Amino acid sequence: MDLNFIVLLDVVIYLSFVLFKIGYEFNFLREVNAMERIRCFLYENNKKTPVLVCFRIWLQGKFMLLSLSYNDIFELINQRVLVMEYIDGIPILNLGDEMAKRGINPGGKMAAAAKQNILESLTLAYGQMILKSGFFHADSHPGNILICKGSEVALLDYGQVKDLPDQLRLGYANLVLTMADNDPVKATESYRELGIDTVSNCVNEQQELLRLAQTMFDTKLPPGVLMLQPFSEDSSIKKLVYRFISSSSIDSFPEEFFSVLRMVHLLRGLSVGLRINYPCAEQWRPIAEEALYNAGRLKGANLKTKVLKRGSFRKFFWTD
């Protein structure tokens, strides 16, 4: 069957999103407040923060090193000066060269453990920011990731951040559970909750909707697949025509989700580059369940992860 398809993308929304964010890049006071908010959130919600959020100093186009306390640094910040601590690390795109320079076998156990830790740290940090807080680092690209001593990860540049409304945050939490459970029945409900209506010209609509969600919002690759091709002949996007509807004050595809998509595809690109098939939806399941449980939208009997401490999701064990 000839699978004609139409993708109706609201280009105006996307361009408005980009132009709006450019202005944020030069608002240093806003950036440092966003950075501090995320830093405090990650440090308060983890025994050890999954990513480093520190300070450097930016003055008249040059980086400078200072030995100052946090209060001293904060007093130096204004519209023209951004002060942060210098982070000693390796850009993630240079990780392979650095391993070769140090004589580390990229296929060995040490390298594999380091790569796994890098993916786990980034995935946990983004999962907590998006699903638990809703306020997240939205400039996700390899240039903003440093690998530090002990394979610790530093996340840089908080000029672009997004704050998801609870409706979208919890809707995305539902979609995460749908992907983690591999549940095609719930896929349609999840899309509609996010304000996306779907029109299909294929027989297995629900299954294709699930595949599309996993292509867009998860990093897991099917068995035997090394890289996803969204527009290949058998892709879900060619079997589905989707349009955007007005639902609960959402007039089109939520512009906040461009940043979520960007983040997911960064993680997928890193997992492919590091040669690790890493499913972010599975790691995000406990965080998504916590968000829905705290919002009163998920009962204890429906949890796949059990709470070991009353009122706390910090420790889990998995149930069948």
How far, in Å, CA of 123 to CA of 284, rounded? 8
| Token pair for 205 | 């609509």
Q: Give the whole-number percent of the chain exceeding pLDDT 90.
A: 37
Compute the distance between CA of residue 164 and CA of residue 36 in angstroms, rounded to an integer. Answer: 18
On the question of pLDDT at 67 being above 50, the answer is no
Does the pLDDT at position 256 exceed 50?
Answer: yes
What per-residue confidence (pLDDT) applies to 31?
83
Which DSSP symbol is given to 130?
Answer: I
Name residue, tokens 């408005």. Answer: 16
Q: What percent of the chain has pLDDT over 70?
A: 64
pLDDT at 209: 82
* Out of 74-83, 251-260, 311-320, least confident range: 311-320
Task: State yes or no: pLDDT of 241 exceeds 60.
Answer: no
pLDDT given for residue 2 in this prediction? 32
Question: Which pLDDT belongs to residue 205?
Answer: 76
Q: Is the dihedral of CA 77, 78, 81, 82 positive or negative?
A: positive
Please give the Cα distance from 181 to 305 (Å, whole number): 13
CB-neighbour burial class of residue 20 (10 A; exposed 0-12, middle 13-18, buried 19+) = exposed
Q: What is the pLDDT of residues 178-222, one digit of tens each?
A: 999 999 989 888 888 887 766 666 677 788 888 888 888 999 877
CB atoms near residue 70 (< 10 Å): 11
What confidence category does residue 133 fall into, taking pLDDT thresholds of 50, 70 and 90? very high
Would you state the pLDDT for residue 189?
86
Higher pLDDT, 267 or 304: 267
Q: Which residue has the higher pLDDT, 318 or 13?
A: 13
SS3 163: strand
The whole-number pLDDT of residue 147 equals: 95
pLDDT computed for residue 4 by the predictor: 36
Band the pLDDT of 238: cuts 50, 70, 90. very low
pTM for this structure? 0.78
Average pLDDT, the chain: 76
Who wins on pLDDT, 176 or 56? 176
Find the length of the chain. 320
- Note whether 270 and 119 are within 8 A (CB): yes
User: Is the separation of the CB atoms in 236 and 208 below 8 Å?
Assistant: yes
Q: Is the pLDDT of residue 9 over 80?
A: no
pLDDT of residue 62: 45
Asked whether the predicted pLDDT for residue 114 surpasses 60, the reply is yes
Instruction: Please state, in angstroms and as integers, the Cα–Cα distance from residue 259 to each residue in 14, 19, 140, following that order.
Output: 10, 14, 8
Ranges 61-65, 155-159, 170-174, 179-183: which has the least confidence: 61-65
* Residue 177's pLDDT band (cuts 50, 70, 90): very high
* Position 170 confidence tier, pLDDT thresholds 50, 70, 90: very high
pLDDT the model gives residue 73: 58
Question: How confident is the model at residue 288, as a pLDDT?
Answer: 96
